[in-house]
Every structure is written in structure tokens, then in C-alpha cells.
């Protein structure tokens, strides 16, 4: 989950394994890169450690050459082979590098190509443990920013906050840097250090933070009973760290345990929750929403697809407050938007991050994957989430002093539920 791995909401209904044999990945790539344009392409594995592409003297068909001349690709391929200092040149590395550049050419920080090794790390992170500093990053106003530091991680202890701009990583300027390249610079073995140049919101001068990487094991759910003011009883408090693949199960287990103790309401804390799996966001929303649309998906062709609840709505009569802040993104915004539109919860806190683009994760037979932006999220009433974020019903600014023990947003939630 390190730095915007989970903030890109994964649509598990669209995620699928391409049903092709191993060799077919090269056929697909051949189409994308022009490997099969105008001649026979062969993949030769005779050289250990590197497949070799033959038949590189290709010409693009007339209909394609009007826009793109793929012969330039082969000219550069051959030039690199013939001229590069270190021999032999690995065709496999060139091939995967070309695929990476293909997706990077979109200029979308949330669309990425992952080679098999990177794809495996991504899958591991979705399970909720990894080595790093424990923060999520995204793009805001064309700058790398902290979406959320995770609870009890090196990032939180270092004082990183939602909205902090990441200007440099170990001396590298992050201007124009893709999110996942930033990830590769920040990641590293536990015990090692990374230096981040951070410009906090409202500050004019950046500061350098040296953070020691650690093994990050995320506690998905925290729950307890909270006392209402003036001895008016207690309410259930559930904090969800991110929408992991078992988030709904963990949420319901926490609620059922607390519900048995007779709480007068529920505070659902989604602050600094950067997102996760779509199906988990829909499932959790279904504990309030019955039969209605939870979120809408708008494609590039302006087609609208609705994702409906199949939940029982057993919490629809439970007084609920949702806590959000600038670190609430993606799946958090889907749940917040649905309950806000249906007036099933009061939203308290700060405007959310605004990560409302849809990424489809496509796995390929060689173990690689492409995460591609395909649509945008809208709330049930058609409000756009992307870039705008969601405004709370009751705005309460957080206390900026990281040493302060006061939680004024939580206190306001308790006050509302005590009425």
C-alpha cells in the first residue's frame, strides 16, 4: 500500500486474469507496440536470461502510418542494440521497458504498467503488510502530496499530514514525477532511511525529514465504546484504516461486538483512509443503503453504470456520524457520498481528497499487470468525486498540533449523537 497503492480504488468486478497462454502476452504486446505490423514476429529464448525479438524490419500499415510511424520504434530498437556500450543488450528488458513507457505515455499518474516483480509487490501490499514508511501519496495540483499517513507508522511519527507536498526524495526533485516512480524511490528495506523534502500546508519553507523504514502491518479496524457527554450513555466507534479485501467482514465483526452492548449510535471514522477495493466499499455501504445505487461510474463516452447495494440496511436506523478529512480518499469517498446523498449519516470533518477516478487492474499471464484509468466515480445523485472531493455536512478543522491530545472532530461527533 506504500504511497498511493491503495488510493487507486481497485474495481474487483472488472479485475480479471486474461485467459491466454503465456506466449499470448507477447501477441498482445505485439499489437500494442507494432511488433506484428507488416511481418512475422518470433520470440527466441535461446539466449539465457533474455528473449530475442527477430524480424525487426517492420513497416506500419498505411492506415496507421498516417498518425504513427512505427518504423521509428524499430530504428531506435536497432540503434540501441548496435550502439549501446554494455553488451549483450537484453531484449527482455527493452521489451518490458517499452510496455512501461507505453502506459506512461498517457500522462496519467494513476495509470501504470507493472512488471511481474512490481505486480507481485502490489498484490502483497493489498494484503495489508509491506516494508516502507506507512503513507499514501497522490497527485494534487500537479504535485506529489501526502494523502494520509497510516496509524502508528514511521510516517505518522515523523509528523507527515494529509496535504503535505513532497518536493524531494533523497535529493531527487519530484516535479513531474509519476506516483509509482516516487514509490520506487521511497520504498526500501526496513531499517534503512529515506529523506523527504516536505512543504507543509500553510508554510513557506520546506523541511527535510529523515524517516527510518519499517515493516508496516496495518490494523484494518479499531473499535471501542465512547462515552457521550454528560453521562448520556455510550456510542460505538469504529475506525477503518483502509478497504482491504476483508474490510467488510472485519467491520461487521466489530459492529456486532459493540452492538451487543447497547450503543446509542455509531461513529464511523474514515479519516486518513485512502481507499481500497470497490466491492468492499459497496458491501459496507449496504449496511445502510438497501436496494439503491451506491456509486455511479462515468466512462470517457459519458456512459453511466450504476453499482447497486445488495445489503440489508440493518444500520439505516442507527444514528451515524462519519468522520472525514483531507486524507479520506477513493473508497472512503464512495461510502461517504452514498450515505450523504441518502441522508443516512451526518458527515463531520474536512473536505475529502478528491480521488474519484476508476482504475481497472488487468493481470497478464507472465505475472505483469496494467492499472489503467477507465472512468470516474459519481455519487448516487451524480456529484463528481474526482478532484472536487466531498464537503462535510458540518465542517470541523482538525487540530494541527500533532502533540495535541484533543480530537475536536470526534468531540463534535459525540456532541451530535448526544442530542
Domain spans of the chain? Answer: 16-111, 129-217, 221-417
Pairing of strands 42-44, 221-227: unpaired
- pLDDT digits (tens), the chain, 419 positions: 333 333 334 444 333 222 222 222 222 233 233 333 333 333 333 333 333 444 444 455 565 556 677 788 889 999 999 999 999 999 988 998 999 899 988 888 788 888 888 787 777 665 556 788 988 888 888 889 998 888 789 999 999 998 899 999 999 999 888 787 888 788 888 999 999 999 998 899 999 999 999 988 778 999 999 999 988 999 999 999 989 889 999 999 999 999 999 999 999 999 999 888 899 999 999 999 998 999 999 988 889 999 999 999 999 999 999 999 998 999 999 999 999 999 999 999 999 999 888 888 899 998 999 989 999 999 999 999 998 899 999 999 976 544 456 799 999 999 999 98
pTM for the whole structure: 0.69
Closest CA to 202 of 243, 234, 165, 176: 165
What is the chain's alpha carbon radius of gyration, rounded to the nearest angstrom?
24
**What CATH number should be reported for the domain whose range is 129-217?**
2.30.42.10
CA atoms of 153 and 276, how far apart (whole Å): 19
User: Taking a C-beta distance cutoff of 8 angstroms, is the pair 158, 174 a contact?
Assistant: no
CA atoms of 189 and 132, how far apart (whole Å): 7
Annotate 57-112 with DSSP letters as a single string: -----HHHHTT--THHHHHHHHHHHHH-SSSS--HHHHHHHHHHHHHHTT--TT-E
Strand partners, 137: 146
Would you name the residues annotated as active-site residues?
330, 355, 359
CA atoms of 330 and 88, how far apart (whole Å): 45
Closest CA to 81 of 101, 60, 54: 54
Superfamily of domain 221-417: 2-enoyl-CoA Hydratase; Chain A, domain 1 (3.90.226.10)
Signed CA dihedral, 386, 243, 181, 80: sign only: negative
Q: What is the DSSP letter of 11?
A: -
What is the greatest pairwise CA distance in the chain?
Answer: 81
Backbone angles phi, psi at 397, to 5 degrees: -70, 145
Amino acid at each position: 500500500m506504500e504511497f498511493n497503492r491503495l488510493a487507486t480504488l481497485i474495481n474487483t468486478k472488472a479485475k480479471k486474469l486474461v485467459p491466454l497462454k503465456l506466449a499470448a502476452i507477447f501477441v498482445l504486446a505485439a499489437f500494442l507496440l507494432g511488433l506484428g505490423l507488416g511481418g512475422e514476429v518470433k520470440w527466441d529464448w535461446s539466449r539465457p536470461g533474455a528473449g530475442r525479438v527477430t524480424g525487426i524490419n517492420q513497416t506500419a500499415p498505411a492506415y496507421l502510418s498516417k498518425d504513427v510511424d512505427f518504423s521509428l520504434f524499430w530504428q531506435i530498437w536497432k540503434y540501441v542494440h548496435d550502439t549501446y556500450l554494455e553488451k549483450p543488450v537484453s531484449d527482455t528488458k527493452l521489451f518490458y521497458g517499452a510496455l512501461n513507457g507505453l502506459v506512461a505515455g498517457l500522462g496519467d499518474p494513476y495509470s501504470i504498467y507493472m512488471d511481474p516483480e512490481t505486480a507481485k509487490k502490489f498484490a502483497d501490499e493489498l494484503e495489508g503488510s509491506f516494508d516502507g514508511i506507512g503513507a499514501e501519496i497522490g497527485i494534487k495540483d500537479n504535485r506529489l502530496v501526502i494523502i494520509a499517513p497510516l496509524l502508528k507508522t514511521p510516517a505518522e511519527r515523523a509528523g507527515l499530514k494529509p496535504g503535505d507536498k513532497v518536493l524531494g526524495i533523497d535529493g531527487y526533485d519530484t516535479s513531474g514525477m509519476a506516483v509509482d516512480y516516487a514509490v520506487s524511490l521511497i520504498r526500501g528495506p526496513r531499517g534503512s532511511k529515506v529523506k523527504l523534502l516536505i512543504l507543509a500546508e500553510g508554510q513557506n519553507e520546506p523541511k527535510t525529514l529523515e524517516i527510518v523504514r519499517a515493516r508496516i502491518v496495518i490494523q484494518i479496524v479499531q473499535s471501542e465504546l465512547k462515552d457521550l457527554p454528560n453521562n448520556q450513555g455510550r456510542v460505538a466507534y469504529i475506525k477503518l484504516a483502509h478497504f482491504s479485501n476483508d474490510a467488510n467482514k472485519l467491520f461487521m465483526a466489530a459492529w456486532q461486538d459493540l452492538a451487543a452492548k447497547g450503543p446509542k449510535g455509531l461513529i464511523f471514522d474514515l479519516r486518513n483512509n485512502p481507499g481500497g477495493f470497490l466491492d468492499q466499499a459497496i458491501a459496507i455501504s449496504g449496511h445502510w443503503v438497501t436496494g439503491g445505487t451506491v456509486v455511479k461510474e462515468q466512462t470517457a463516452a459519458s456512459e453511466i453504470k450504476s453499482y447497486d447495494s445488495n445489503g440489508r440496511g440493518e444500520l439505516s436506523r442507527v444514528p451515524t456520524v462519519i468522520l472525514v478529512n483531507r486524507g479520506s480518499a477513493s473508497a472512503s469517498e464512495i461510502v461517504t457520498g452514498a450515505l450523504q446523498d441518502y441522508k443516512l449519516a451526518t458527515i463531520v470533518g474536512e473536505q475529502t481528497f478528491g480521488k474519484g477516478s476508476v482504475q481497472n487492474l488487468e493481470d497478464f499471464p507472465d505475472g505483469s499487470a496494467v492499472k489503467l484509468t477507465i472512468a470516474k466515480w459519481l455519487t448516487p445523485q451524480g456529484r463528481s468525486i474526482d478532484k472536487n472531493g466531498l464537503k462535510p455536512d458540518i465542517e470541523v478543522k482538525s487540530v494541527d498540533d500533532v502533540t495535541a491530545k484533543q480530537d475536536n472532530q470526534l468531540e463534535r461527533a459525540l456532541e451530535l449523537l448526544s442530542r
